[in-house]
């Protein structure tokens, strides 16, 4: 990307929202907490190619942890280890962010949070006839924000 693209991308961080650049929830690869990490599952995870996988309990709306795929390297498929066992050990709590948050604030939050460069994008619903609840709209990573600055797709290593 040339310099003017980068500058215009950086200026847009104050107006664009996380919802505008996130990966939509129906396209997010997730795992259920009770999944057995057998050979088939580990193979599927590796084929997906993602570094971070949201882990949900029961329903996909209930994301409780993140699995980092490099942590699967030490797992023996014959042990039939549960996703929950790995999650309990590493315990990566996801960052949650409101869908309306601007990208400059998101970037700052990622840099402050340190290692966990994925946030779950939520929208709060407050219906008159029931309790308020959060809807998960998608996920956003540091790469999604950087991509906006560079204004072009980053070629993954
Ligand atoms: P990775 O390191 O796994 O390649 P990045 O953080 O570089 O992930 O993000 C690359 C793109 O993939 C981003 O658009 C991000 O929103 C998306 N992404 C990351 N993890 C997942 C996932 N588990 N399911 C679907 N999309 C994902």
pLDDT in tens, 63-95: 999 999 999 998 999 999 999 999 999 999 999
Q: Write the pLDDT tens digit of every residue in 13-59.
A: 999 999 999 999 999 999 999 999 999 999 999 999 999 999 999 99
Which pLDDT score is estimated for 152?
Answer: 62
Phi-psi region of 126 (alpha: psi -120 to 50; beta: other; left: phi over 0): beta
Q: Hey, which of 20, 22, 23 would you mutate to test ligand 1's pocket, going by the most ligand atoms within 8 Å of its Cβ?
A: 23
At residue 5 the predicted structure's pLDDT band, cuts being 50, 70 and 90, is confident
At residue 6 the predicted structure's pLDDT band, cuts being 50, 70 and 90, is confident
Q: Which residues surround ligand 1 with Cβ inside 6 Å?
A: 23, 27-29, 50-53, 139-141, 143-144, 156
CB distance 22 to 54 below 8 Å:
no
Mean pLDDT of 132-144: 95
Q: What's the whole-model pTM score?
A: 0.90
Token match 């390297």: residue?
A: 73
Residue nearest to atom 27 of ligand 1 (CA): 28
ipTM above 0.95, yes or no: yes
Which pLDDT score is estimated for 157?
Answer: 55
Residues whose CB falls within 8 Å of the CB of residue 103, separated by 6 or more in sequence, listed in order: 12, 13, 14, 16, 17, 18, 21, 145, 148
Q: What is the spatial distance between Cα 140 and Cα 144, in angstroms, rounded to a whole number?
A: 6
3-state DSSP of the chain: CCHHHHHHHHHHHHCCEHHHHCEEHHHCCCEECCCEECHHHHHHHHHHCCCEEEEECCCCCCEEEEEEHHHHHHCCHHHCEEHHHHHHHHCECCEEEECCCEHHHHHHHHHHHCCCCEEEEEEEECCCCCCCEEEEEEEEEHHHHHHHHHCCCCCCC
Which pLDDT score is estimated for 3?
Answer: 83
Which pLDDT score is estimated for 154?
Answer: 61
145 CA to centre of ligand 1 in angstroms: 12
Strand partners, 31: 55
CB atoms within 10 A of CB 123: 13
Which pLDDT score is estimated for 2?
Answer: 78
Which pLDDT score is estimated for 1?
Answer: 59
């Amino acid at each position: 990307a040339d310099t003017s693209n980068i500058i215009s991308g950086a200026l847009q961080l104050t107006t664009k929202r996380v919802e505008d650049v996130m990966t939509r929830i129906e396209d997010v690869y997730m795992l259920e907490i009770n999944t057995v990490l057998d050979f088939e599952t580990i193979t599927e995870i590796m084929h997906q190619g993602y570094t971070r996988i949201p882990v949900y309990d029961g329903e996909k709306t209930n994301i409780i942890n993140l699995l980092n795929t490099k942590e699967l390297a030490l797992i023996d498929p014959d042990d039939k280890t549960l996703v929950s066992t790995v999650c309990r050990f590493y315990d990566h709590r996801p960052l949650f962010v409101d869908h309306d948050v601007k990208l400059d604030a998101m970037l700052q939050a990622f840099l402050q949070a340190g290692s966990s460069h994925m946030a779950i994008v939520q929208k709060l619903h407050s219906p008159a006839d029931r309790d308020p609840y959060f809807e998960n709209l998608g996920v956003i990573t540091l790469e999604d924000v950087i991509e906006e600055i560079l204004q072009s797709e980053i070629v993954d290593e």
